[in-house]
C-alpha cells in the first residue's frame, strides 16, 4: 500500500505557562508545493505543530527574498502581505482558516462548503491567540524590503475553547484526527507566490479546497 504523503502527527506537551515550547521535538512540515509564479529562489517555509490541554500551537519559520506588511487591523486581508496560513477541520465539512502576516496581524473566518465565510465567528477575541513574531509586532512594512538574512518566525496558538465554540466537538486527545493544510502567500509582493504543504490537485489556484486537507493526528 502506498504511504499517504503529507499526513502528520502532533505531539502533546505540558501547558507551557509562558515557558518555551519544545519546538525542536515537533515534526517539520515543509511548504513546497508552489503554484503559478515559480521563481529561481522560492521562499523556504517550515511549520511545526504542538498541543497542550487547552491549545494547538503553530510555528512558521520563513525565509524569502522580500517582505511586506501593510495590514494592521484584525480581519484585514493579510494574504496580500507576507503571510502564512493554517486551515483545519475537526471532523465535519466546516473549517477554520487562520491567516497571519509577518508582523502578527491576523484574519480568522469560519468557512462552510460553497465558499461561504462567517467573517465574525462566535467567540473571536483579538487577544486569544498568543501571537509572537521575530519582526517588530504591529510595525507596518508599507513597501517591500529585503527579508532579514536569517528569515523570520511567526508563532501563535488557538484555544480549543474557541475552536469548539465555532466548529463544535471537544478538545483533541491521543488518537484524535483533524484535517488541514498550511500555506504561504504574498499576493502584493513583486514576486507574488502561493504555496502549500499538501498539494492542491486542482487546475485553479484556490486555498479553500478542504478536499485536499490531510490528516493531522494527535498523540
Q: What is the CATH number of the domain that holds 95?
A: 2.60.40.1190
Residue 7 lies in a domain: no
Is 214 a domain residue? yes
In percent, the amount of the chain with pLDDT more than 70 equals: 96
Question: Rounded distance, CA 37 to CA 192, Å?
Answer: 7
Q: Is residue 50 in some structural domain? A: yes
**Domain, as residue range, for 195:** 28-218
Is residue 131 in some structural domain?
A: yes
pLDDT digits (tens, 9 = 90+) for 6-17: 699 999 999 865
Q: Does 20 map to a domain?
A: no
In a domain, 22, yes or no: no
Q: Is residue 55 part of a domain?
A: yes
Q: How many CA atoms lie within 13 A of 3 on its CB side?
A: 4
Residue 146 makes CB contacts below 8 A (sequence gap 6+) with 65, 66, 67
Q: Give the model confidence (pLDDT) of 154-211 as tens digits.
A: 999 999 999 999 999 999 999 999 999 999 999 999 999 999 999 999 999 999 999 9
Q: Would you say 57 and 21 are in contact if contact means Cβ atoms under 8 Å apart?
A: yes
Residue 15 lies in a domain: no
Q: Tabulate helix, strand, coil % of the chain (nearest 5).
A: 10, 40, 50
Number of domains in the chain: 1
Q: What is the mean pLDDT of the chain?
A: 94
How confident is the model over 56-73, as pLDDT tens digits? 999 999 999 999 999 999
Amino acid at each position: 500500500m502506498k504511504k499517504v504523503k503529507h499526513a502528520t502527527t502532533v505531539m502533546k506537551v505540558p501547558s507551557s505557562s509562558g515557558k518555551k515550547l519544545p519546538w525542536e521535538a515537533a515534526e517539520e512540515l515543509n511548504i513546497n508545493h508552489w503554484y503559478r509564479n515559480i521563481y529561481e529562489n522560492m521562499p523556504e517555509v517550515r511549520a511545526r505543530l504542538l498541543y497542550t490541554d487547552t491549545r494547538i500551537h503553530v510555528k512558521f519559520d520563513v525565509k524569502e527574498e522580500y517582505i511586506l506588511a501593510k495590514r494592521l487591523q484584525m480581519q484585514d486581508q493579510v494574504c496580500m502581505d507576507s503571510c502564512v496560513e493554517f486551515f483545519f477541520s475537526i471532523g465535519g465539512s466546516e473549517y477554520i482558516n487562520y491567516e497571519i502576516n509577518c508582523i502578527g496581524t491576523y484574519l480568522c473566518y469560519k468557512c462552510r462548503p460553497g465558499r461561504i465565510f462567517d467573517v465574525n465567528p462566535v467567540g473571536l477575541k483579538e487577544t486569544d491567540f498568543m501571537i509572537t513574531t521575530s519582526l517588530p509586532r504591529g510595525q507596518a512594512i508599507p513597501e517591500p524590503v529585503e527579508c532579514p538574512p536569517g528569515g523570520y518566525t511567526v508563532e501563535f496558538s488557538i484555544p480549543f475553547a474557541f475552536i469548539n465554540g465555532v466548529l463544535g466537538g471537544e478538545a483533541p486527545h491521543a488518537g484524535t484526527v483533524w484535517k488541514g493544510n498550511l500555506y504561504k502567500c504574498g499576493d502584493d509582493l513583486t514576486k507574488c507566490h502561493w504555496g502549500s504543504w499538501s498539494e492542491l490537485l486542482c487546475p485553479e489556484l484556490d486555498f479553500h479546497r478542504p478536499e485536499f486537507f490531510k490528516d493531522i493526528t494527535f498523540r
